[in-house]
Amino acid sequence: MSNVQHSDAVAPSAPDRVALPEAAVSVEGLGKVYRGSKRMPEKVALKDVDLTIPRGALFGLLGPNGAGKSTLINMLAGLVTKTRGRAEIWGYDIDRDTRMARASIGVVPQELNIDPFFTPYELLELQAGLYGVPPAERRTMEILGMLGLADKAKAYTRTLSGGMRRRLMVAKAMVHNPPVLVLDEPTAGVDIELRQQLWTQVKALNEAGTTVLLTTHYLEEAEQLCDTIAIINDGEVIACEATGKLLQRLDHKELSLTVEESLSQVPEVLRPFGPELAGGNRLIFRYRANESPVADLLDAINRANLTVLDLRTEETDLEDIFLQLTRKKS
Ligand SMILES: Nc1ncnc2c1ncn2[C@@H]1O[C@H](COP(=O)(O)OP(=O)(O)OP(=O)(O)O)[C@@H](O)[C@H]1O
């Protein structure tokens, strides 16, 4: 794959552009309150968020429904107005250098809204026209090639598979050569195989030089793809750090054991494992995935003379992670 050159060819001139910024996106005290109506109370969707996305990052914004992810990225894309705070994209302030800020970002929305009667080539040319990219500077075939769609350039979009359509959406967001690409829930409702394909493409785009910001509900997605993860919950960023570091400090697995005996307290030999006793006959052990104590645990259960009726292990899900993080914060 060829290296993506992030020139300003498409963007208008900006005399006050700062020297190459270190941050691809930088957000300070960004807040959003959706105004209420007669039927709806006002909603604080984003609470003075500070966030820095380094250039070249593959950055995951992770959070449950309603956390404020779309609000944040839509503000960056200029689709939602902010209530307070400031944001810069590639060094351009979204209020002062609006045109340059918009030219520096490409957004792939969640919905597949592609006109089925155009070919991928025509769609990209149209989009380039909308962004004012002069014909001589268009990279239509190069972008289609980057997303594995070169051989579909002249096919009707209605004949493309779901996966190809999603990649076409990414291609559309790339026509003006933005240094920052935002993907809103790229794999929501997408099957495993397709998800893997998209991950590969997104990684390749990132390796070729594009800074990627993606929102997701899936911890696994952020884990597999992103080098940095920010967790947003109820309008607040509650964690932001390198993926490995974040996962390391989270208790990541849970083993739940149902025993025949009725217990009034945790048996002595099991105490070092710090289980929670639930309902008198269920012991819940939480441990870090990379420090699996299961063999020692089973040995201790044996020594405690317990009769195991059921045993389940579970990955900690996002909800648990939010709980853990918010507990640690308070
Ligand atoms: N136009 C709006 N008017 C009023 N409230 C809104 C509006 N848009 C979003 N909200 C509310 O703001 C909060 C944040 O919504 P947002 O869409 O940013 O969350 P999200 O993290 O993207 O969720 P999802 O994963 O479901 O897309 C939610 O409580 C939502 O109901």
Neighbouring C-beta atoms of residue 251, cutoff 10 Å: 15
Please state, in angstroms and rounded to a whole number, the distance separating the CA atoms of residues 65 and 71: 12
Please state, in angstroms and rounded to a whole number, the distance separating the CA atoms of residues 300 and 266: 12
DSSP label of 153: T
Confidence of residue 196 (pLDDT cuts 50, 70, 90): confident
Question: Is residue 284 pLDDT above 80, yes or no?
Answer: yes
Tell me the mean pLDDT in the region 282-287.
Answer: 88
Query: What is the phi/psi pair of residue 252, to 5°?
Result: -105, -15
Residue minimizing CA distance to atom 3 of ligand 1? 34
Angle at 329 between CA 328 and CA 330, to 5 degrees: 95
Q: What is the position in ligand 1's atom list of the atom closest to the CA of 235?
A: 14
Question: Is residue 214 pLDDT above 80, yes or no?
Answer: yes
pLDDT recorded at residue 315: 67
Residue minimizing CA distance to atom 24 of ligand 1? 65
Residue minimizing CA distance to atom 25 of ligand 1? 65
- R_g over Cα of the chain: 24
Question: Is residue 14 pLDDT above 70, yes or no?
Answer: no
The binding-site residues of ligand 1, defined as CB within 6 angstroms of any ligand atom, are: 34, 43, 45, 63, 65-71
Task: Name the percent of the chain lying above pLDDT 70.
Answer: 86
Please state, in angstroms and rounded to a whole number, the distance separating the CA atoms of residues 273 and 293: 9
Q: pLDDT for 143-163, tens place per residue? A: 998 888 999 999 988 888 888
Which among 32, 33, 34 is the best mutation to test ligand 1's pocket, defined by most ligand atoms within 8 Å of the CB?
Answer: 34
**Helix 120-130 / helix 162-173 crossing angle, nearest 10 deg:** 30
Q: How far is the CA of 45 from the centre of ligand 1 (A)?
A: 7
Tell me the mean pLDDT in the region 210-232.
Answer: 89
Predicted structure pTM score = 0.75
Q: What is the position in ligand 1's atom list of the atom closest to the CA of 43?
A: 5
Q: What is the position in ligand 1's atom list of the atom closest to the CA of 71?
A: 18
pLDDT recorded at residue 21: 53
pLDDT recorded at residue 251: 57
Please state, in angstroms and rounded to a whole number, the distance separating the CA atoms of residues 329 and 318: 16
Please state, in angstroms and rounded to a whole number, the distance separating the CA atoms of residues 38 and 16: 44
Q: How far is the CA of 230 from the centre of ligand 1 (A)?
A: 18
Question: Is residue 10 pLDDT above 50, yes or no?
Answer: no
Residue minimizing CA distance to atom 12 of ligand 1? 45
Tell me the mean pLDDT in the region 17-37.
Answer: 83
Instruction: Find the range with the poorest average confidence among 13-17, 91-95, 127-131, 152-156.
Output: 13-17
pLDDT recorded at residue 195: 80
Please state, in angstroms and rounded to a whole number, the distance separating the CA atoms of residues 5 and 177: 8
Tell me the mean pLDDT in the region 85-107.
Answer: 94
CA separation, residue 227 to residues 184, 205, 243 (Å): 17, 14, 5
Amino acid type, 88: E
